[in-house]
């Protein structure tokens, strides 16, 4: 896909009473103020002097106020749900709880807006509101990586992709957490008014016009708490205790007394992740810990994490973290506070340092973990895929296919409908 291809046709004509330049932002009590402020800043401030076309903003209360937000602040929205009927774009910036249902009146308003041709946008946990309204059924979507398994489990008809910064499916768009909301709002401006306008807005906001990579470098693929009561929990616990051994998903399926197909389906329904990708990610996380807390060579780390060779470790490590194992260790040690002991082998390193070690400006390499999901034999979970892509802008590849993406090509950090 080209870097700035137009948004796909939605197939619905915008109702005559709605206007493309009108953006309604739907706020709820308990929503985080940062996510809520993103569309307000992007679409609510007149920046025509900087070459940014103007939108008309309608801030709408999704329920009776006052609306309480981060820090105990109380907000009063100037409009109610009725104002959504004028908007060509409706944004749900966040939802207060992934475990509680949104108000029925708000869901009805979103469905009507969608039926009348409006573009519906969910930022971060706003995807749960769109899913509750049925607007994500059969569609690709994303949300914060931490909540993606819950979204996939609660709404199994949604094709959840926890790796993307945002997903554009034409008339329904979703983003990952917090700052990814800025990425999606910039994408909307780019779609509506072109690259120059989006670039001018990005300069005003002092953010990149388009970030490279996705959520992969931030992912923690630990399993959600809900799996604790499931029979698969014992199999998962065994896998985590035996990461130093070479085994594959077939082995896990056998321990669960399931066929490979049944195990894959059951694992995905519980976690939102393919079991092979989860296993590879756990091996990479274990390699991170050993690189931080031990003096083992990279070859030894590979063996202690179940990779068949250092080459396999380096390939998966770079794909997930954008850095080689040796460079990661060097950066970690260089940034460790002065006087902080390295820690004995196998002991935890200083807390809070791990995230800062991941190079924030190094684009992640090709993401093709799912291509290995059809492999069999002991090497399946540890073999590094070949380094080749599919001609994306910036030269990044995508998985050939997996449970989330359906094999669609996209820009780095973003996936759009074909």
pLDDT digits (tens, 9 = 90+) for 106-152: 999 999 999 999 999 999 999 999 999 999 999 999 998 888 878 88
Residue 136's pLDDT is what? 96
- Is it the case that residue 251 has pLDDT exceeding 90? yes
Give kind and range of the element (H or E) at residue 189: helix 180-193
Across residues 43-57, what is the average pLDDT? 91
pLDDT band at 336 (very low <50, low <70, confident <90, very high): low
> For residue 214, what pLDDT is reported?
62
Structure tokens at 324: 């080689």
Banded pLDDT at 33 (limits 50, 70, 90): confident
Percent share of the chain, pLDDT over 70? 72
Over the range 98-135, which residues count as b (16 or more CB within 10 Å of their CB) and which as e? eeeebeeebbebbeebbebbbbbbbbbbbbbbbbbbeb
Burial group, residue 414, by CB count within 10 angstroms (0-12, 13-18, 19+) = buried
| Averaged pLDDT score across all residues of the chain | 76
Residue, of 404 and 215, whose pLDDT is higher: 215
Binning the chain into helix, strand and coil, the percentages to the nearest 5 are 40, 10, 50
List C-alpha distances in Å: 308 to 32, 224, 243, 346, 382.
Answer: 44, 28, 12, 21, 6
Strand-pair partners of 416: 168
Give CA–CA dist 315/280, Å, rounded.
11
Q: Of the ranges 19-33, 293-307, 372-386, which one carries the lowest mean pLDDT score?
A: 372-386
pLDDT of residue 396: 28
240-252 in b/e burial notation, b at 16+ Cβ within 10 A?
eeebeeebbbbbb
Cα-Cα-Cα-Cα dihedral sign, residues 301, 375, 318, 236: negative
Task: Please check the confidence at residue 323 and state whether its pLDDT lies above 80.
Answer: yes
Residue 385 pLDDT exceeds 50:
no
Q: Give the per-residue pLDDT at 185.
A: 94
DSSP designation for 79: B
pLDDT digits (tens, 9 = 90+) for 282-308: 898 889 889 988 999 999 999 999 999
- Sorted by sequence, the CB contacts under 8 Å of residue 375 that are 6+ apart come out as 248, 276, 383
Q: pLDDT grade, residue 164 (50/70/90)?
A: confident
Residue 315 pLDDT more than 70?
A: yes
Is a pLDDT exceeding 60 seen at residue 4? no
Interaxial angle between packed helices 260-271 and 275-293, expressed in degrees from 0 to 180 and rounded to the nearest 10? 70
Say if CB 325 and CB 291 are below 8 A apart.
Answer: yes
pLDDT (mean) for 393-417: 36
Instruction: Enter the pTM of the model.
Output: 0.58
User: Taking the CA atoms of the chain, what radius of gyration do you get in angstroms?
Assistant: 22
């Amino acid at each position: 896909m080209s870097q700035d291809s137009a948004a796909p046709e939605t197939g619905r004509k915008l109702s005559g009473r709605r206007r493309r330049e009108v953006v309604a932002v739907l706020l709820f009590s308990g929503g985080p103020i940062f996510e809520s402020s993103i569309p307000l800043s992007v679409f609510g401030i007149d920046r025509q002097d900087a070459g940014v076309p103007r939108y008309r903003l309608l801030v709408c209360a999704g329920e009776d106020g006052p609306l309480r937000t981060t820090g105990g602040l109380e907000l009063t929205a100037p409009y109610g749900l009725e104002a959504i009927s004028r908007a060509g774009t409706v944004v749900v910036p966040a939802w207060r709880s992934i475990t509680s249902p949104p108000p029925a009146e708000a869901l009805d308003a979103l469905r009507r807006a969608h039926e009348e041709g409006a573009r519906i946008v969910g930022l971060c946990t706003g995807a749960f509101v769109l899913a509750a309204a049925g607007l994500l059924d059969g569609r690709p979507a994303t949300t914060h990586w931490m909540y993606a398994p819950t979204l996939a489990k609660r709404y199994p008809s949604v094709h959840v992709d926890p790796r993307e910064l945002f997903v554009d499916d034409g008339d329904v768009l979703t983003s990952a957490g917090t700052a990814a909301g800025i990425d999606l709002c910039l994408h909307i401006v780019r779609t509506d008014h072109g690259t120059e306008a989006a670039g001018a807005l990005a300069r005003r906001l002092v953010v990149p016009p388009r970030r490279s990579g996705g959520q992969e470098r931030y992912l923690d693929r630990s399993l959600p708490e809900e799996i604790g009561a499931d029979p698969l929990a014992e199999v998962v616990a065994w896998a985590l205790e035996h990461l130093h051994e070479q085994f594959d998903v077939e082995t896990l399926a056998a321990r669960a007394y399931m066929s490979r197909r049944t195990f894959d389906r059951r694992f995905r329904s519980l976690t939102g992740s393919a079991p092979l990708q989860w296993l590879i990610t756990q091996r990479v996380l274990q390699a991170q810990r050993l690189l931080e807390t031990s003096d083992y060579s990279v070859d030894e780390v590979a063996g202690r994490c179940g990779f068949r060779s250092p080459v396999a470790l380096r390939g998966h490590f770079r794909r997930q973290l954008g850095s080689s194992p040796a460079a990661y260790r060097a950066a970690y040690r260089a940034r460790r506070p002065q006087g902080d002991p390295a820690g004995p082998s196998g002991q935890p390193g200083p807390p809070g340092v791990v995230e800062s070690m991941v190079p924030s400006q190094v684009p992640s390499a090709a993401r093709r973990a799912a291509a290995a999901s059809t492999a069999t034999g002991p090497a399946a979970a540890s073999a590094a895929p070949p380094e080749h892509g599919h001609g994306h802008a910036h030269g990044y590849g995508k998985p050939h296919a997996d449970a989330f993406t359906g094999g669609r090509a996209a820009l780095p950090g973003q996936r759009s409908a074909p």
